[in-house]
Each structure stands twice: as C-alpha cells, then as structure tokens.
Structure 1
Amino acid sequence: MGHPVADESGKNDSDILSVPSGRIEVDVRPSVHKIGIPPRQKLTKEFSERFKETFFHDDPLRPFKDQPKSKKLVLGIRALFPVFDWGRYYSLNKLKGDVIAGLTIASLCIPQDIGYARLANLDPQYGLYSSFVPPLIYAIMGSSRDIAIGPVAVVSLLLGTLLQDEIDPKNKAEYLSLAFTATFFAGVTQAVLGFLRLGFLIDFLSHAAIVGFMGGAAITISLQQLKGFLGIAKFTKKTDIIHVMESVFKSVHHGWNWQTMLIGSAFLAFLLFTKYIGNRKKSLFWVPAIAPLISVILSTFFVYITRADKQGVQIVKKIEKRINPSSVHKIHFSGSEAMKGLRIGAVAGMIALTEAVAIGRTFAAMKDYQIDGNKEMVALGVMNVIGSMTSCYIATGSFSRSAVNYMAGCQTTISNIVMSLVVMLTLLVITPLFKYTPNAILASIIINAVIGLIDYDAAILIWKIDKLDFIACMGAFLGVVFYSVEIGLLISVVISFAKILLQVTRPRTAILGNLPRTTIYRNIDQYPEATKVPGVLVVRVDSAIYFSNSNYVRERILRWLEDEEEQIKSNDLPGIQYLIVELSPVTDIDTSGIHALEELFKSLQKREIQLVLANPGNTVMDKLILSKFTEMIGQDKIFLTVGEAVLTCAPKALEEA
C-alpha cells in the first residue's frame, strides 16, 4: 500500500539519512504499519480449501489437469500401477542389479520365513507362501524401489499372540481360518486408509513409541526362541519375560537338550560373526545375507547324517511341496469370527503399515526419490487382501531384507519378483530337504535378525532431546517385555496421545524483552541481554488457543502480570500500563479462546492496564473481527510487530530502557 520496505529490525529506507560528513545516521522511529485485515472468503471456498489441504495436500490430481480423456486414462493406470510408469524406461543394466538383489534377499528370506511362521503359530510353508504372492502384487502396485516384502518378526509375533488369545493353535483348522480372516481385514484396513487418504493416522504412533515397541518386541521374540534354542518340549504360551524365564528354569533339569544347545550356540555365533564382518566392511553385505541359508543347509545335513533327531533334537519335519492353495473358503466374512478377525487384523495391519511406510520413506530419502504414502497403503492393502485368499498371512516391508536389497544394488521392484520366483522354486522342489532342519537353527536365525531392532543409540538420543518422549519409549518397551505385545502397543499409543494433550492443554508462554539497539523482542530466558521496557509487559503465546487451553492461557498471562507487579513494587518502579500479547505463533483461535481474551481484557480494565495485540495471523485476525473483539479493545490497539506496539504505546519508556 505504498509503505517503504522494512528490514527485519523494523527500519526502512526512509529512516536512513545522509549527512554532509559522509556518515550514515539512523532514525530509531520507524513508521507504524496498519495491521492487515484478511478478505472475507465464501464458506464453500474456505471449507474446500481446508478439506483439500487436509486430505489432498499433495494435489494428486495435478497431473490430470488440462489433459484429454485418453491421456487421463493412461495417467490413471500409471498412478494405480507404477510398474507401467517406470517400466517404460527399464533396461538390461537395471535387470542385472535387480536379479542379483533378488537372489540375495531370497537366500535371506527363505530361512527367515520358516522361522517367522512359527512365531505366528503357523506351519512353516505359510511363511514361504507369504513371500511368494504378496511380493508379486507389490511389484506391480508399489512405488518404493527398495522395500522387500514378506513376513516380519514383529507382526508375526503380534498376530500369533492375538490369535492364540482367541483360539488354541492346536485347533489348526479354526486357527488357520482366523489367521486368513485377520489378514484379509488387515489388508482392507490398509487399503481403506490409503483410499480415503487417512495415512496421517499412523503418524500418531510417535518415533519414540516405535523405538520402544520394537526394542521390547525384539526382547520378547528372542525369549520365545529359547524353546527351540534349548530344545524345551513344554513351554509357556505367555510372552512376558517373567512367565518365559519361569518356564525355562523349571525345565532346566529335564527339558534342555545339550545337542540342540550345541547346534543353536554354534550357528548363532557364526551368524553374529558374519553380521560383524558385514558391518565392518559394507562391500561384504552379502556375507551376512547368505549366512542364514548356509546355516540351514549345514545344520540340516549334520542332523541328517547323525540322526540327531532321535537324540531329542527337534526338527521341522514335513513342509508341503506345493505353491499357494486357495484359501477364500476359509475366510469369515460375517459373524463373530469375522469381528474377531477385523479387530486382530486392524491392529496388526496398522503396525505392518507403520513399519512398511517408515522403511519406504527411509530408503526413498537415501536415493532421493519420492513415494506416495497413500498409494503405498493401497498397494500393501491389496497385496494382503489377495494374500489372504492364497494361504498367506500378513506381509509387509522387512527392514533387514530391504537393507540387503538396497546394498545389493536393486533398481526397481523387479527384485521382489526375482525373490518371489526363487521362493516358488523352493516350494515346488526344495521343501522336502527341510525335513531335518533343526528348530534350533531357526531360533538362532530369528535371534540374529531381531537383535538389530534394539536401537540403543535412538533411545539415548530420545532421552537427551525429550524426556516425555523417553517415557513413551520406555512405557512401550516395558509393556511389551513385562506384559504382552498388545499391552505394550496400547501403552505407547496412550502415552503418545497423553503427550499431545499435555502440549495442547498446557502451551508454552514466554516474557519478551527488547534486544539493545534494535526493535526486536525475544524471550528473556533465551536472551539474557534482552531488557524489559518499564511500564510494559510483553507476553508471547506459543500455541493455537482452543477450548482445551484457553483458560490456562488467560490464567498464565495473569500470573505473569502478578509476578511482574510484585517485582515492580519491591523495586519501587513504575507500574504496568500496557500488556502486549504477541500472537504470531498463534495459528488459530476458537470461540473459547476469544472468550478468554475478552475476560482477560475485562480483568485488565479493572487494573487500569490496556491490552495490546501484536501480529495476529490471517485466521486469528479474521475471527477477532467477526467476534467484534477488535471493536472491544479498539483497532488502534492491534499492531504489526511488538516493536511498533511499544513505540506507539510507551515511546518514552523505551528511550529510558
């Protein structure tokens, strides 16, 4: 509106005067700008913009604008099936990298899948089934180039724990039916979240809570492997550390098998050594990747030639030699079993979704490309829905396999197809050879795999940065270790929400002071050189003002005022004449917040103190005008900056300061 351009100190070009001596002098009386009044928007436009920013902030329809119908159809197919997009530029050079990566992760996934199926209380072949069909679906619909799909330890344990609370795993037919039902509803949950663009819901599970949950799950999974590692026949169904250790020590004299312990210990040491080699030299990443398969082959051969199974060494026994049979008829689509499956599937599906999206984002950032979180959810959901109909249980992104996939030089999701084909050949040809595989080796492989889920460095960093986050982290960890996986998950969610509520209901406020020789006002605790202006109290509110915190904000400002007046009386200084509230951090305000400001204004009137507002944002200013609060305090009591407010209200006091 024709005002001079101001710098960040509040001065503008007209404040700088040239003098004959050639020096530059500065006039410390900057012009006062009028506070901007936002234009009124139509209700429909305001609602549509808010809706778009909430659910369609990435503007997914942008590529379709101004395109002919035929082009829109092609773009729609590419959006739903990314393979038709990147597939146009695929080359033999990329195929080489994908084949090597696919073969590498296949050697890792086969022994892991057999072990993870046991965590879910399922027969070994179901783990292999889940690394055959789901990766094929994801390769067509997924947008992450690096993620490796299949069963994972945490989801397998969670699914197995939730299922056995409903049905005894010994009742195989009903247990398997509920497992497929839960997988179906897990996929539906994931697909619906993606289709409705509700992916932001998974962000409510904080990073700290995930760190604690994963660490606790790693401990719990490792403890569960003591059954196979020690050769214990009778083992508790509980997952908490107390019941597990009680079960272990009760069987110490008659339940442990020394041959099993020897096999498990020897190969666990081998696996840990190969992991150490891989960590020391990244170019040898393939050593720990193929170590599990080598361990399975060697241990199986050893048990076969020595017939150690007749000496008490527990073995896998039979794995069906076939590819995925149909399981549509085993899924419950209605009734009480369907409701159980829905509840279990929704919980397990959300955890699987959180892990997959986190992995996808991590590797996308490393390779500098973007993934669409909502599209990922749809892809994972469709993958699990189809998987549930082909004898698979919940599959998701595996961090260990994805890391190997990345280091092996994968270029696209073709590596998942290569891995899937290897698993198919295994199911058709090799599965009879796993008959003599000892359970101890599977326990060693799982222990070796989940150790990496315990992130000590992240926990230490969380402690240093945010103590409330650390409480959420430890709450999740202790809940999983000492009670159960689902209770640990519940604790982590509750603490995360409690932290959000605490921050919303008790926002930070600060007293601001003037930085010498400037018109800048900053927190006096952060900037000790900042000085208070006599007769003026400047308070900043660092949050939106809603019904949940409006009374607290009003009471906190009044407490600041009372404390300041006590100090003034004790030092025999001039009383407070102006209370300036800095509103720049206040992004929004509701009717309760405006009512709190009105009450604050009336309280200050009784004390003969004037209320002044500084830099209200567009949304806040609009609501202050609509509520006629601006008329109550006067339009001349609203300023662009704190500096202008002080200069206008108390210029002499500023000069004295």
Structure 2
Amino acid sequence: MMEPLLDCSPLEGGSGTMRDKVAACCSFSTLKAWLPILGWLPKYQLTWLRMDLIAGITVGLTTVPQALAYAEVAGLPVQYGLYSAFMGGFIYCIFGTSKDVTLGPTAIMSLLCAFYIGNDPVYAVLLTFLSGIIQTSMALLSLGSLLDFISYPVIKGFTCAAAITIGFGQIKNLLGLQNISQQFFLEVYDTFHRLPEARVPDAVLGLLCLSALVTLTLMKSSLGPGPDDLPVHVRGARGLVWALSTVRNALVVICATGLSYSFEVTGQHVFTITGHTAAGLPSFQAPPFSETTPNGTVITFRELAQDLGDGLIVIPLMGLLESIAIAKAFASQNNYRINGNQELFAIGLTNILGSFVSAYPVTGSFGRTAVNSQTGVCTPAGGIITSVIVLLSLAFLMPLFYYIPKASLAAVIICAVTPMFDYHVVAKFWRVKKLDLLPFLVTFLLSFWQVQYGIVAGVAVSGCLLLYHVARPQLKVRDHGVLVVELDSGLRFPAMQYLSQTLFTKALMGECHLSATSKDNLRPSVYDVVIPWSCVPVSPPRSVVLDCCHVSGVDYTVVNELRDLLRQFQQRGEVLVFTGLSHSVLQDLLKAELPDFEHMESVEAGLQAVSGKTFHDCHG
C-alpha cells in the first residue's frame, strides 16, 4: 500500500496531543513531504546542472515531434499536443519524487481521450480539469492502493491492444488515405479496401521515415558500452551516433518538413501536410464549463460531464497507473524510492493547471522517461529545460509546423508504440501461470472493441480468479488416526462453506462406498425423486486437528459457521481442536463463546489432546 501524502495523525501522550499534531504538520519534514524539491535543491551541484541540461534538451527534442503526433491520435489539432507537453515539467520539478519521470501526452492516453472527447477541444480541456481534481483528491485521501486491483495481465493485455490499435490507426496517414473509419474493425476494413487510393508520395515518404527511424534505433541498441581506452575519434563517432539516434524523431520530422516546404513554396502540393496551426503560446484562462455550438445551442456543464461518462473514471485511473508504474520501474532501476501518493498529487496538479493552458490529459511517458534516464539526468530540473524547449517551439516554430507531413508523424507514432507490443509475455504467462492468460486475453480482445470495456472486463476476470482462490483455499489433509487439516491461506467467509463441507465429508461422515443394492432396486418415488446410490459408512467419524497458523483474521460469518461445525462434532462424540491461532484470532473466537471450543499451541499438542499419544515431526 502506498504511503499517505501527509502523516499528521495524533501522537500518543495525553494533553500534548493537539499541540504535537500541529507542530508535526508545520514541521520542515512535513513541508518536504509536500514539496520534494526542498529535499534536493539545497544540495544541488554544478555538475548536476550540466547533466540536467543535456537530458532536458535531448528529451525536449523528442517531446516536440511526439506531442504533435499524439495530438493527431487524440483527434485534436497538433498544437494541443504542445499545450499539454510543458506544464508537467514545471509542476513535477516541485512536487515529483522521481528524477527520471517526464509528464506529457502519451500514445495510450491519447487513444483513450480520442474515444471520449470526439475531436472537440472543449471536452478535452474539461476532461483534463476533472481528471486532475479526481487524481488530486485520490492523493489527499491516500487512495492510490486502488490501482493494486489492476493486475499485470490486464495491464499487458491493454497495452498490447493499444499498440496495435494506435499503430494500425496511423497506416492511413502513412499512405495518405482519406475517409477512414475510427472504429478499429471498420478501420481495418476501410484501410485494406482503399489501398488502391494510397498517395504514392505520402507512402514513399512514410516508408522512408519509418526505415530511418528503425535504422537509427538499431544503431543505438547495437552500440553497447565501449571500453575506456578507445581513441578520441572513435569515442566522438560513437557519441555522434548516440546523439543522432536519441533525437531521431526530431531529426526525421525536420528532414521531412524541409522536403515538404521545398515543394510547397514552389506551388507543388506533393504531400499531405498538417496544415493550419494556431500560432503562439496558449492563453492562460479557466477551463470551459459550457460550450456554445455553431447553431447557438448551449451545452451546460452537466451535459458535458454526462457526455464524458465513464471517461471520468477510466482517464484518471489509467493516467495514474501508467505514470506510477513507470516511476516505480525507474526508481528500482536507479536505486531510489518514490512516494506513490505524492506522485498522484503531482500528476493531478499538472492536469488541473494544464487545463488552464488548453492541455488534454497527461501522464508519465515511458519512452521519454527512458531517454531522460539514459542521458544521465540528475534531478527533476531536467523537466524545466524540456518545458522551455516546448514553449520556444510554440512561440517561434508554429508557422513551420504547417508544413510537417502527416506521414512523418505517423512513422514517429508507429515506432513509438511498437515496443509496447510485448508478444513474449504470452510465453511467460504460459510458463509461469497459465491461468493469467485468461484476463490477459479478455482484456486484449475486448480492447479492440472499446478500450474501457477491455479494462473493466479484465479487472472483473482477475477479481473472479482472486475470489475463487479466496473461496477455495488449499487444504492439506494428513491422517494420524486423527485427521490433521492445514489451511494454506487465510480464512474468510467465502471459504467457510467449503471448509465446513470438507470437514463434514472427510471426518464426520467417515469413509463410505456406494451401495449396489440400492441401484438394483430403483423405484420412482411419489415425488419423482430417485436416489440411485446410498452411502454406506465403512469407518467411524473421527476428530480433527485444524492447523490455523496461516489464518490472520476471521469475520462473523466464519464464527457462526464454526459454531455449527463444533455442534456437529459434539453430536457425533468427536472433537475439533484448533492449533496455531494468532493472538487476534484467538481473542475473537474467545469473545464469541463457541461451545466446546478447544485450542492448542501446536499440532503436536492438539494430537496429544485428542488421542493421548505423542506425535513427533507432524509437519513432515
């Protein structure tokens, strides 16, 4: 469970409690919990500044083309990608607890937003504001643990489906196709049906950009760590390859834009280009709480919120899940810890303030965070440099974005989402836990229909599997003349009926066989009920020693069932002895005043109490 954002709970000790509580809330350590920047800024070093500058510039050159491309995925004008890309750097620097994480638009979040906002920036900005409010509230209430109910198979099923959906959705831009449906299955049909209509210049440019990105990616991955005694020119060449491959997205988009611009100024409209973009920085204003349609109809806040529907649940939760998973992964990789609820607070506040600059919902980006980490960022200050680059692009480069070919942005997106499709995970599930394939496949397949249905169905299947294990705990039964039954997990009310039936069948009914006589003399009863077999006991009922060493708690349903079970043992002249009870469980059972309740410290003591004999090594 994640730690609370603040811990101002009352201290033990009588009259000084309120004074101590106020002092704790006003202490410098509490202030640092709110503002993690106070933990690293006083220790900031000049060498860190150089590394943060390099990392911030590198990530910034990656962020600009990706932000433009992801706005296309969200169904918004490209400038909205940049509007969403700069607020996170400033906010996270103050409130974030990971040095590596970068907040901004991502492929998955853009795909989710596209479903709910319907290409309308008003819905996008309002969704950002409401998501931020929900996320911040969750942080203040320490509700980050709700994300623990989304299992790894569900996450992988969703991300794999999202990678295919986003990647295939860019084929139309890569080939210059028009009038393609947004729904995935219809999109597949329309894309193949309209292949003869592909624009050759767009297709050629798109494939060239795709080839360049793949080549640069392979070059970077093949570099590996080099020995320290390399000649200067070799180290310089390796550094140049690393730099070019790291900023490959910006490099490809710049080259493609230059080519497109050279044709456009001569009056030749060869490529499908981005087109008009709003120039300059976005105005700082409150998010819209109503909308007036072109025909004069006013859509109220309530109607806007109703239209967003379950997006007000899916978007905040998936934003938190994606960002915190990334933060945890890089914290583990780089040997530091994060505060989960503080991360929630930083993301929520970023979305709230982002809505004032027309941003759509953001979260942590795995690709850009990886670039940030690999470049050697030392503190969250690198995010400020990235945000400045985005702001400079908005202020001075927006007219040039008019000429960006859509095919080049499509190539950037396809290469960005390809690593998300982890087909190796299927083999891992099969090898380690085959049953985990069920929520994975349910999430994966339904996400092609509607993303939120895939996530909900996957969580539901995972929950059913979890409940099944709770309701059907493994019982280890050993026969020492007296039955020893060991529960290998906790005991809660869903499992109590199963335990009662097992003890009744194995101990109180005794061993039995089916009578053939009753089968030979079958006759329908007046109620048309036929009992073809009868159970003839071949051994008497036996007492049971119930090993409860793994039971950490009980509820009233368990206590009530145990009362009935003890009465059944008493009626047959046998005993049920409990062993290994924890102090809290024992106290609960004693308070219930169960009839004939007997408990011992160990299984051996329980066996002695039942049979009067000493058993050694009973657990062997």
Give the corresponding residue for 1:484.
450
Give the corresponding residue for 1:602.
567
Aligned mates of 1:433, 1:487 — CA distance in 2: 40
Aligned mates of 2:182, 2:267 — CA distance in 1: 24
1:251 aligns with 2:212: no
Q: 1:386-425 counterparts in 2 under 5 A?
A: 386-425=353-392
Q: Deviations over 1:164-201 (max 9, x none)?
A: 2xxxx3xxxxx211111111111011101100001101
* 2:504 maps to which of 553, 558, 569: 558
Give the corresponding residue for 1:620.
585
Question: Which residue identity does 1:492 align to in structure 2?
Answer: G
Q: From the superposition, tell whether residues 369 and 63 of structure 1 become closer, same or farther in structure 2 (CA, over 3 Å).
A: farther
Q: Deviations over 1:102-124 (max 9, x none)?
A: 11111111111001001111111
Aligned mates of 1:656, 1:450 — CA distance in 2: 57
- Deviation at residue 574 of structure 1 after TM alignment: 7.5
Contact persistence 1:387–1:393 (CA under 8 A) = yes
Q: Deviations over 1:566-614 (max 9, x none)?
A: 59xx9x9985632111111111111110121122222333443321111
Higher alpha-carbon deviation: 297-306 or 274-283 = 274-283
Aligned mates of 1:577, 1:549 — CA distance in 2: 22
* 2:210 maps to which of 268, 275, 281: 268
Give the corresponding residue for 2:333.
366
Higher alpha-carbon deviation: 339-348 or 420-429 = 339-348
Give the corresponding residue for 1:525.
none
Aligned mates of 1:468, 1:423 — CA distance in 2: 45
1:153 aligns with 2:107: yes
**SS of 1:549's equivalent?**
helix
**SS of 2:275's equivalent?**
coil
* 1:292 maps to which of 234, 239, 249: 249
Aligned mates of 1:309, 1:604 — CA distance in 2: 95
Q: 1:90-129 counterparts in 2 under 5 A?
A: 90-129=44-83
Q: From the superposition, tell whether residues 81 and 648 of structure 1 become closer, same or farther in structure 2 (CA, over 3 Å).
A: same
Identity %, equivalent residues:
28
Q: From the superposition, tell whether residues 67 and 549 of structure 1 become closer, same or farther in structure 2 (CA, over 3 Å).
A: closer
- Deviation at residue 474 of structure 1 after TM alignment: 1.1
Q: From the superposition, tell whether residues 656 and 617 of structure 1 become closer, same or farther in structure 2 (CA, over 3 Å).
A: closer
1:325 aligns with 2:288: no
- Deviation at residue 646 of structure 1 after TM alignment: 2.0
**SS of 2:357's equivalent?**
coil
How many correspondences in the alignment?
565
Give the corresponding residue for 1:60.
7
Q: 1:132-171 counterparts in 2 under 5 A?
A: 132-164=86-118, 169=119
Aligned mates of 2:602, 2:467 — CA distance in 1: 30
Aligned mates of 1:334, 1:476 — CA distance in 2: 32
**SS of 2:581's equivalent?**
coil
Give the corresponding residue for 2:397.
430
* 2:148 maps to which of 192, 203, 225: 203
- Deviation at residue 433 of structure 1 after TM alignment: 1.9
Q: From the superposition, tell whether residues 67 and 75 of structure 1 become closer, same or farther in structure 2 (CA, over 3 Å).
A: farther
Aligned mates of 2:367, 2:141 — CA distance in 1: 30
Q: From the superposition, tell whether residues 388 and 68 of structure 1 become closer, same or farther in structure 2 (CA, over 3 Å).
A: closer
Give the corresponding residue for 2:527.
none
User: Cα RMSD (Å) of the superposition?
Assistant: 2.9
Q: From the superposition, tell whether residues 655 and 99 of structure 1 become closer, same or farther in structure 2 (CA, over 3 Å).
A: closer
Gaps of 5+ in 2: 13-19, 226-240, 291-299, 514-534
Q: Deviations over 1:244-265 (max 9, x none)?
A: 2111122122x21121111111
1:638 aligns with 2:599: yes
- Deviation at residue 472 of structure 1 after TM alignment: 0.7
Aligned mates of 1:653, 1:396 — CA distance in 2: 63
Aligned mates of 2:617, 2:152 — CA distance in 1: 49
Question: Which residue identity does 1:587 align to in structure 2?
Answer: S
- Deviation at residue 61 of structure 1 after TM alignment: 4.3
Give the corresponding residue for 1:453.
420
Aligned mates of 1:341, 1:430 — CA distance in 2: 33
1:81 aligns with 2:26: no
- Deviation at residue 460 of structure 1 after TM alignment: 2.3
- Deviation at residue 60 of structure 1 after TM alignment: 3.2
Aligned mates of 1:309, 1:486 — CA distance in 2: 45
Give the corresponding residue for 2:220.
278
1:543 aligns with 2:486: no
**SS of 1:548's equivalent?**
helix
Contact persistence 1:134–1:150 (CA under 8 A) = yes
Q: Deviations over 1:299-356 (max 9, x none)?
A: 1112222449945521112332311223415244842213434742331111010000
Give the corresponding residue for 1:9.
none
Aligned mates of 1:615, 1:244 — CA distance in 2: 61
Q: From the superposition, tell whether residues 319 and 656 of structure 1 become closer, same or farther in structure 2 (CA, over 3 Å).
A: closer
Q: Deviations over 1:60-116 (max 9, x none)?
A: 349999699499343333221111221110111111111111111111111110010
1:176 aligns with 2:141: no
Q: Deviations over 1:481-534 (max 9, x none)?
A: 2x121221222222122222222222222224xxxxxxxxxxxxxxxxxxx42x
Question: Which residue identity does 2:376 align to in structure 1?
Answer: G
Question: Which residue identity does 1:545 align to in structure 2?
Answer: L
Aligned mates of 2:455, 2:431 — CA distance in 1: 23
Aligned mates of 2:475, 2:282 — CA distance in 1: 60
Question: Which residue identity does 1:375 align to in structure 2?
Answer: Q
Give the corresponding residue for 2:294.
none
Q: From the superposition, tell whether residues 436 and 389 of structure 1 become closer, same or farther in structure 2 (CA, over 3 Å).
A: same
- Deviation at residue 215 of structure 1 after TM alignment: 0.5
Higher alpha-carbon deviation: 603-612 or 68-77 = 68-77
Contact persistence 1:303–1:309 (CA under 8 A) = no
Higher alpha-carbon deviation: 370-379 or 539-548 = 539-548
Question: Which residue identity does 2:316 align to in structure 1?
Answer: G
Q: From the superposition, tell whether residues 414 and 463 of structure 1 become closer, same or farther in structure 2 (CA, over 3 Å).
A: same
Q: From the superposition, tell whether residues 258 and 411 of structure 1 become closer, same or farther in structure 2 (CA, over 3 Å).
A: same
Contact persistence 1:64–1:72 (CA under 8 A) = no
Contact persistence 1:286–1:404 (CA under 8 A) = no
* 2:432 maps to which of 465, 488, 491: 465
Give the corresponding residue for 1:524.
none
**SS of 2:447's equivalent?**
helix
- Deviation at residue 220 of structure 1 after TM alignment: 0.5
**SS of 2:477's equivalent?**
strand
**SS of 2:553's equivalent?**
coil
- Deviation at residue 371 of structure 1 after TM alignment: 1.1
Contact persistence 1:479–1:485 (CA under 8 A) = yes
Q: From the superposition, tell whether residues 584 and 291 of structure 1 become closer, same or farther in structure 2 (CA, over 3 Å).
A: same
Question: Which residue identity does 2:216 align to in structure 1?
Answer: T
